[in-house]
Amino acid sequence: MIVRGEGVWLWDSEGNRYLDGNSSIWTNVHGHHHPTLDAAIRAQLDQVAHTSYLGFANPRASELAERLCGFFPEGTLERVFFSDDGSTAIECAVRMALQYRLNRRENRTQFIAFENGYHGDTLGAASLGGVGRFTATIGRYGLEVSHVGSIEELERLSPATISEVAAVIIEPLVQGVNEMRLWPRGMLAALRHWCDANAVHLILDEVMTGFGRTGTMFACQQEDVIPDFLCLAKGLTGGYLPMAATLTTGRIYDAFLGAADQAFYYGHSYTANPLGCAAALASLDVFENERTLESLQPKIARMTELLSDLSARHPEVHEVRQCGLVAGIELRRTDGSKFPVAERIGEEVCLAARKHGLLTRPILDTVVLMPPLCVSNDELEFAVNAIGAAIREGFGA
Ligand SMILES: *Cc1c(COP(=O)(O)O)cnc(C)c1O
């Protein structure tokens, strides 16, 4: 039972303290119980907690939409559709990408996604996913999706196939659920180029990578790429409340104007919830006031040092994959072979790390280290030491 939080720390019901090494499943950004976020939510509560966005607007949502679009050059991403979580941000992008084609009487109803990608658990989002253990049970009952493994494979698709594609979706820079696997540098820019050349829309799933995780506000900024749809969720409210946003261009927005059958019939009851918007605005304020992005670079460098040291000391650390303040530490046998899945080594190591004050979760045998961005160098060292101690105990050395 987790009962309390402060900064990067969480307390359980027995009074034990843990560093939140997984940012409460990749959501928390500035730490728990942050005074700015807390105050913003309280102030909004004194106004109103929730009002419907169907046919109405609210000031916090308008401000937030403006702030989010402000991260991108004028004439690019300038429209925002709010929803509730990562999966719905994706559903919304995919529905828009599809209906855009239908509204324009184009015969492009297929999607391309990447093998081992993860885009959420609702049916449409899950059908885009390429991680077998999440999608095997439901089969392929969702969208019509072709999965490719690389940009090279994409480039080999036949013109006939490409002519039916509405959009490509990708997690930029790093595939989170795929044990934190990084794309080669330049891949994202090459993908944007391919999309432009083939009149295919690009959907970026920045549900995990958004809001500073990879060292820049958004991962796409590292390769100067602007997508046609940008999906944001987890860190949007600083990890406080469930809320998501799908950003798109004016051009796509315009295709939904006019006759009633052109409209985007989509919306959730809690769309643009004012408390969520207030938290999100406060989180963006903290990015400015605490100079969060500037303070990140030295922490990222320190994390690299600490993890390379960990890897040098423990032969069971097969590979460390790091992108900004996101890291995956893959454990294997010392001969390089994988542990049998049934041994659940990753889980065992994470359970052992708890005794050393670190809370995190494995993905198979990859231990994830993704602390809130407010983590200090000392706290990073504490977290990596806990993983080291857990590995030592796990392998009885
Ligand atoms: C977590 C995640 C999602 C799904 O978000 P939910 O809020 O859990 O629905 C989608 N895409 C990526 C890349 C994610 O990490």
Predicted confidence at residue 137, as pLDDT, reads: 64
d(CA 232, CA 247): 8
> 12-24: b or e for each residue (b if 16 or more CB lie within 10 Å)?
eeeeeebbbbbbb
The range of the structural domain enclosing residue 63 comes to 38-289
Give the per-residue pLDDT at 130: 85
Which one-letter DSSP state was computed for residue 204?
E
Q: Rg of the chain's alpha carbons, rounded to an integer?
A: 21
What was the pLDDT predicted at 141?
Answer: 76
Within this chain, do residues 56 and 152 fall inside the same structural domain, yes or no? yes
CATH number assigned to the domain comprising residue 59 = 3.40.640.10
Q: Is there a single domain that holds both residue 135 and residue 280?
A: yes
- Summarised one tens digit per residue, pLDDT across range 164-178 is 999 999 999 999 999
Distance 170 CA to ligand 1 centre (A): 12
Residue ranges in the chain whose pLDDT is less than 70: 134-140, 396-397
For tokens 């500037």, name the residue.
Answer: 294
Q: Which of 65, 45, 67 is nearest to 57 (CA)?
A: 65
The atom number, within ligand 1, closest to the CA of 125 reads: 10
d(CA 350, CA 329): 11
Last residue of some domain: 268, 289, 310? 289
CA–centroid distance, 147 to ligand 1, in Å, is 18
Q: Is the CB of 233 under 6 A from ligand 1?
A: yes
Residue 187 CA to residue 193 CA, distance in Å, equals 10
Which residue, 271, 289, 307, sits at the end of a domain?
A: 289
Angle 118-123-125 (CA atoms, 0-180°, nearest 5)? Answer: 35
- pLDDT in the model for residue 375: 98
210 with 176, same domain: the answer is yes
**Same domain, yes or no, for 277 and 295?**
no
- What's the CA gap between 32 and 375, in Å, rounded? 11
Ligand 1: which atom is nearest the Cα of residue 86?
5
As a whole number of Å, the end-to-end CA separation of the chain is: 31
Atom of ligand 1 nearest to the CA of 25: 1
3-class SS string, 185-196: CCHHHHHHHHHH
The two three-digit tokens of residue 64, written as one number: 């937030």
Here the tokens at position 95 are 């529905």
Q: Note the pLDDT tens digit of each residue in 52-102.
A: 999 999 999 999 999 999 999 999 999 999 999 999 999 999 999 999 999
**Which pLDDT does position 132 carry in this prediction?**
74
DSSP state of 146: E
Tell me how many domains the chain contains: 2
* Rounded to 5°, angle at Cα 205 from 162 and 380: 140
**Phi, psi (deg, nearest 5) at residue 83:** -145, -155
Burial (CB count <10 Å: 0-12, 13-18, 19+), residue 35: exposed
Edge-to-edge strand order for the sheet containing 9-12? 2-6, 9-12, 17-20, 358-359
Closest Cα to atom 6 of ligand 1: 86
Q: Are residues 254 and 357 in the same domain?
A: no
Pairing of strands 165-170, 77-83: unpaired
Q: Verify that 141 and 99 share a domain, yes or no.
A: yes
Copy the structure tokens of residue 273.
Answer: 């919830």
Is residue 83 a contact partner of residue 92, using CB atoms and an 8 Å limit?
A: yes
Pocket of ligand 1 contains residue 330 by CB under 6 Å:
no
Q: How far apart are CA 272 and CA 58, in angstroms?
A: 8
d(Cα 9, Cα 22) in Å, to the nearest integer? Answer: 11
Q: Which two tokens stand for residue 336?
A: 């390089």
CA–CA distance, 370 with 27 (Å, rounded to integer): 10
Q: Which CATH number do you get for residue 320? A: 3.90.1150.10
Residues 277 and 176 in one domain: yes
Query: How high is the pLDDT of residue 134?
Result: 66
